[in-house]
Amino acid sequence: MHKMNEMEMREKLVDYGKRLVAAGLVQGTWGNLSMRLSEETMLVTPSGLDYNRLSPADMVKVDVRSLEHEGEHKPTSEKGLHAGIYQRRPEIGAVIHTHSKYASVFAAAGRSVPVVQPELKRIFGSQVPLAKYGLPGTKTLKKHTIEALGDNNGCIMTAHGMICCGRTMEEAFDHCLKLEDCCRQYIEEGYERDEQIMDIKEILERQRSFFAEGVTKDLSYRRSALLKLRNEVKRHENEIFDALYKDLGKSAYEVYETEIGLVYSEITYMLKHLDRLARPKRVATPLSNFPSKSLIYREPYGSVLIMSPWNYPFQLTLVPLAGALAAGNCAVVKPSAYSPAVSHIIAKIISETFSECYVHTVTGGREANQNLLSQKFDYIFFTGGKAVGRQVMEAAAKHLSPVTLELGGKSPCIVDESANIPLAARRIVWGKFLNCGQTCVAPDYILVHESVKSKLLAALVKNIEALYGEDPVNSKDYSKIVNEKHFDRLTALIEGEDLYYSGGIDRDRLKMGPVIIDEASWDSKAMGEEIFGPILPMIEFDDLRRVKKELEGRPKPLALYLFTRSKASMKYVTKNISFGGGCINDTIMHLATSNMPFGGVGDSGMGNYHGSYSFRTFTHEKSVLNKSNLIDVPLRYPPYGRDTKWLRLFLK
């Protein structure tokens, strides 16, 4: 058998990188390949380079023990993982880590793959192993992957695709093809769906049995659950920071400000006010029911489904969960597949805190959503886009399940001629570009009075640079776009547009800096849909009445912001324009209070939550009339052949 020299190995790595792309085994993130060069060294692909542009000279020689490397290129961040496999498995000559379509479904869900084909069982066994989650390039990821791989030829890596190995590169590549095919067949032939449906049916049955025992209705049990949840979040804070940085590029400060801190605040509110919220409310009784007492009891629904989005994946999962638990419900939580690292830590926190008969997490993508929505829940709480919101409502209607829909929309920001321009610009920049514009209540566009437009434009740019520097796309305080699909959608919105300001674009890192379009019109591309990104169109106006008329013909927004010193403008806008909620002389901050409801209207949603409104959302108002046995007024009983004078006195 011919023994390859170093140049032949370099050429082979280049060749198989291209083969991975051609075979459809690369989706989004490139992954990494390596070959054993000697007992002490290996060749690995460099960090961040397109496989189709690699040359043999780009391959990096790395010492498998010290991890020191030669040459100008930086090796893949997973060099330690590759080296660890070679050290543990002397028979292995090649390793491939890739993010393929079907294997990534199982990776995002954090699930191993049952092997149903006999010929594949000889390669992978009856169950493809699953490696626990670890951050990229860390010793934790290396440890979990090597443990899961064992003496096997491949495994699924939670949130990281798959890894396969072989004696040769040909064999490792063949194992990748077979593992991907194993995942594809399992999904396409319905095994995955059937298994998930059985799983969720069983969990729902357990939750209903547990709820029927009445344990969750006890206030001390609810209080204990909230305390446990808060403590577990606290214990996992560092992992939450890391996960949100991985999924969305959020800084630690922003994570606490917009995610973890809001969860703590909601739990604290529930603990402080639980007795008052759960207490039956006595209301006035009409004379027709004298003598009696009228009481309203707040009764938990049972098993509720909470479906959350990817943009604030931690906060928008645990804040409604806190309300559901405070109200006395059991819950099934479904975080978004687009934020896999956060989904994993949510599942970890919940599994370590609660039994699945009380709270359970389901991960995965559309298939998992469909499986959940095919079941009957006692209440469904959904946060996300309008398209999926319609599907949720349609599915809920089949079971007559009540729903809350927290959707989105194009939230206008009105700046009139009396506004404090420097302050308005600072608050608009913060609210718009927080989380790289991926906020459902972010100002979607600006309506500015023509007399202050130039001042506002200059102030916006000044504040962008004050908050994020002259090169915002490289600011450590500036987040990234969630994935390539959304990045490409956003770049298409500004293609061909004259931009007043652009903070830079870096597709490799999914970074898009702030963008201002100063000559936008109602017909501009960016005005056709909710932007959900760092693009800020500006339209000028000369009269608030024209603004009202234009907004009346459009879907009702989730939020509206008005910057003005004029009380007349404040009164006109709040009285005449319908929107879910908003601020005068600020952005976004209306949702950071537990004393007001947060929710949409019309196309932007239905229902609301936060604080006492979360408790109301997750409970049924049960009316009970407690009638006295001492007096029984005879007026209601037949025979009715009497004068209605007394009846008219009671019922008027």
The catalytic site residues sit at 406
The CB density around residue 4, as the number of other CB atoms within 10 Å, is 16
Nearest CA-CA partner of 406 in 620, 551, 621, 597: 597
Q: Is the peptide bond before 56 cis (omega within 30 degrees of 0)?
A: no
The CB density around residue 202, as the number of other CB atoms within 10 Å, is 11
Distance CA 594, CA 597 (A): 7
User: What is the dihedral sign for C-alpha 208, 214, 218, 224?
Assistant: negative
**DSSP output for 319-338:** HHHHHHHHTT-EEEEE--TT
Contact 436, 509 (CB under 8 A): no
Helix (H) or strand (E) holding 186, with range, is helix 169-188
Distance CA 105, CA 100 (A): 9
Tokens 């999962």 sit on residue: 317
Distance CA 158, CA 152 (A): 17
Nearest CA-CA partner of 160 in 170, 148, 171, 150: 148
Contact 215, 221 (CB under 8 A): yes
Distance CA 120, CA 175 (A): 9
Within the chain, what is the greatest distance between any pair of CA atoms? Answer: 113
SS3 of 215-271: the string is: HHHCHHHHHHHHHHHHHHHHHCHHHHHHHHHHHHCCCHHHHHHHHHHHHHHHHHHHH
Nearest CA-CA partner of 607 in 380, 313, 359: 380
Distance CA 549, CA 370 (A): 40
Cα angle 213, 219, 221 (rounded to 5 degrees) comes to 60
**DSSP output for 494-537:** HTTPPPSEE--EEGGGTEE--EEETT--TTSGGGSS---SSEEE
HSE of 149, CA atoms in CB hemisphere, 13 A:
25
Name the pairing type of β-strands 412-415 and 445-449: parallel
Distance CA 572, CA 564 (A): 12
Q: Which residues of 87-126 are buried (b: 16+ CB within 10 A; e: fewer)?
A: eebeebbbbbbbbbbbbbbbbbbbbbbebeeeebeebbee
- How many helices (H) and strands (E) in the chain? 22, 27
